[in-house]
Structure 1
Amino acid sequence: MTAKIVLIVAAVMGALAVGLGAFGAHGLEATLTANGRLETYETAVKHQFYHSLALLLTGILMLNLNSDYFLWTAWSFIIGTLIFSGSLYILSLTNVTWLGAITPIGGLAFILGWIFLALGAAKAA
Structure 2
Amino acid sequence: MKGSLLVQRLGGISGALAVTAGAYGAHGFRRSDRDDYLKELYETANKYHFIHSLALLGAARCRKPLIAGTLLTSGMVMFCGAFYYHALTGNPALSKAAPWGGTLLIVGWAAIAL
Return the TM-score normalized by structure 2.
Answer: 0.89
Residues 29 and 39 in structure 2, CA contact (< 8 A), matched pair in contact too:
no
Structure 2 partner of 1:52: 53
Match status 1:108 vs 2:103? yes
CA apart distance, 1:30: 4.3
Change (3 A) 1:44 1:111: same
CA apart distance, 1:32: 6.6
Aligned 1:26-37 pairs, distance under 5 A: 26-31=27-32, 33-34=34-35, 36-37=37-38
The total of aligned residue pairs comes to: 113
For 1:90 and 1:103, locate their aligned partners in 2 and report how far apart those are by CA, in whole Å: 11
Match status 1:95 vs 2:84? no
For 1:27 and 1:46, locate their aligned partners in 2 and report how far apart those are by CA, in whole Å: 17
For 1:33 and 1:95, locate their aligned partners in 2 and report how far apart those are by CA, in whole Å: 9
Residues 35 and 95 in structure 1, CA contact (< 8 A), matched pair in contact too:
no
Q: Point out where structure 2 has 5 or more consecutive residues left out of the alignment.
A: none
CA apart distance, 1:22: 0.8
Residues 32 and 93 in structure 1, CA contact (< 8 A), matched pair in contact too:
no
Return the TM-score normalized by structure 1.
Answer: 0.82
Residues 59 and 69 in structure 2, CA contact (< 8 A), matched pair in contact too:
yes
Residues 82 and 98 in structure 2, CA contact (< 8 A), matched pair in contact too:
yes
Residues 84 and 103 in structure 1, CA contact (< 8 A), matched pair in contact too:
yes
Match status 1:72 vs 2:71? no
Structure 2 partner of 1:21: 22
CA RMSD of aligned residues (A): 1.7
Structure 1 partner of 2:7: 6
For 2:33 and 2:79, locate their aligned partners in 1 and report how far apart those are by CA, in whole Å: 18
For 2:50 and 2:33, locate their aligned partners in 1 and report how far apart those are by CA, in whole Å: 19
Residues 31 and 93 in structure 1, CA contact (< 8 A), matched pair in contact too:
no
